[in-house]
Homo-oligomer: A and B are copies of this chain.
Amino acid sequence: MSADTTPDIVLSLEIDDPALADRLATLLGNVAGLRLAAPGETANATIVARDPRVIPEDIALTQRELDVLALMAEGASNKMIARQLNISVHTVKFHVGSLLDKLDATGRTDAVAHAARRGVIEL
């Protein structure tokens, strides 16, 4: 059986819920052809289950705010965003201000980080 050219698939677990993690570990431990990763071992794949309570938080952002946010995530300055969207720098600041409020951020960097964490934008 060791002549198989494909070794066991190694899986690592990243589960918030301890009970679920336990059940999965038990179930998967008895499956031939795969095994769970040893501590520090590099896995072929990871089983993830984040706390679902975090996900439904989609903030109510207007289309324009999403436009500005996307450009912010690209590292664009207010001036560049203004040029890109054909609006004034003042308007960009206006939208950035709303973004900081809605995302509960202290600055544009924080805003992008929060947005990414909440899945509002994709890096």
Contact = CB atoms under 8 A, between A and B. Distances in A.
Nearest to A121: B113
A9 B114 CA distance: 30
Contact of A75 (B32, B47, B74, B105): B105
A117 B109 contact: no
16 contacts: A9-B20, A20-B45, A27-B31, A27-B32, A27-B33, A27-B34, A45-B48, A46-B47, A46-B48, A47-B47, A47-B48, A73-B109, A109-B109, A113-B123, A116-B123, A117-B123
Main SS of the interface on chain A?
A: mixed
Interface of A: 6, 9, 11, 15, 20, 23-24, 27-28, 31-34, 44-49, 72-75, 77, 105-114, 116-117, 123
Contacts of A48: 45-48
Contact of A113 (B6, B33, B75, B114): B75
A75 B103 CA distance: 12
B9 A27 contact: yes
Contact of A47 (B11, B23, B123): B11
